[in-house]
């Protein structure tokens, strides 16, 4: 007969294993993936660049070539703060977002040092219509995409917070960028990032199927100028928002951008 203490330890271990599995596995859902990027054109998407009106695709930065959505800088001579975002047309609340991307080529001259092989998937975005003309970034939570530089540790699917704050393990996080546990990906290899969003209760980032970062309770930051402005008309807690792709000086290819909506 199993001793009571051993039995209780076994039950506790089983519960912890089940809980860990539930936190680390991408939900197994039925239903089709919805292709946000159709592989042919930018239908359903609208660009917004700092210094330009909504809808201006500055120097054809966002384009579709050979079935890829490309962030390209071949028409730039110099980067001068033209930070761009390509917004999908509708809001989402609870969903699984899957993106397959790679970094290619060289950073455009004039790009910031931190912008080397740096891009992002922005979730919980303010609407593109509510952005100011000279606003660099939408208030949002960034799933930061980084590529290796051959010498430093540069994990991907990190969590950054332009105009917002997040909660990690019950603690309000005001630090702008927070590293994931992913490996560094050097070269031009394809990487799959999956983001599982359960409204504002739990958001989990995965890299090539492995969990690397989680947070909850995304919220507008009252100490940030953009967050403070939006708080005049928007609720503080972010339960839904738009999705956008960044352009901040690093050439990037996206092969897949697809989504499955979940029930709240």
Class of domain 31-261: mainly beta
Alpha-carbon gap, residue 141 to 125, rounded angstroms: 7
Determine the longest span between alpha carbons in the chain, in angstroms.
77
pLDDT in tens, 46-95: 999 999 999 999 999 999 999 999 999 999 999 999 999 999 999 999 99
pLDDT in tens, 132-191: 999 999 999 999 999 999 999 999 999 999 999 999 999 999 999 999 999 999 999 999
Task: Tell me what pLDDT residue 263 has.
Answer: 81
pLDDT in tens, 144-158: 999 999 999 999 999
Alpha-carbon gap, residue 215 to 105, rounded angstroms: 32
CB 168 within 8 A of CB 181: no
pLDDT in tens, 22-55: 456 787 777 789 999 999 999 999 999 999 999 9
Residues β-bridged to residue 177: 160
Going by DSSP bridges, is the β-strand pair 191-198/202-207 parallel, antiparallel, or unpaired? antiparallel
CB 79 within 8 A of CB 110: yes
pTM score of the predicted model: 0.90
């Amino acid at each position: 007969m199993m001793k009571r203490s051993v039995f209780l330890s076994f039950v506790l271990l089983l519960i912890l294993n089940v809980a860990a599995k539930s936190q680390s596995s991408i939900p197994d859902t039925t239903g089709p993936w919805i292709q946000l990027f159709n592989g042919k054109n930018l239908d359903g998407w609208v660009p917004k660049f700092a210094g330009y009106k909504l809808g201006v695709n500055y120097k054809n930065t966002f384009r579709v070539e050979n079935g890829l959505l490309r962030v390209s800088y071949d028409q730039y001579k110099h980067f001068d703060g033209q930070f761009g975002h390509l917004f999908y047309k509708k809001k989402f609340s609870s969903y699984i977002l899957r993106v397959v991307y790679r970094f290619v080529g060289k950073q455009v001259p004039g790009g910031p040092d931190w912008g080397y092989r740096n891009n992002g998937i922005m979730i919980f975005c303010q609407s593109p219509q509510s952005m100011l003309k000279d606003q660099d970034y939408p208030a949002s939570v960034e799933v930061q995409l980084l590529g290796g530089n051959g010498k430093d540790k540069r994990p991907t699917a990190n969590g950054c917070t332009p105009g917002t704050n997040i909660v990690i393990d019950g603690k309000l996080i005001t630090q702008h960028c927070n590293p994931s546990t992913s490996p560094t990906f050097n070269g031009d290899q394809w990487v799959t990032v999956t983001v599982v969003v359960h409204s504002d209760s739990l958001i989990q980032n995965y890299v090539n199927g492995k969990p690397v970062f989680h947070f909850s309770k995304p919220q507008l930051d009252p100490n940030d100028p953009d967050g403070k402005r939006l708080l005049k008309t928007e609720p503080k807690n972010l339960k839904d928002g738009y999705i956008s792709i960044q352009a901040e000086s690093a050439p990037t290819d996206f092969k897949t951008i697809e989504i499955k909506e979940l029930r709240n």
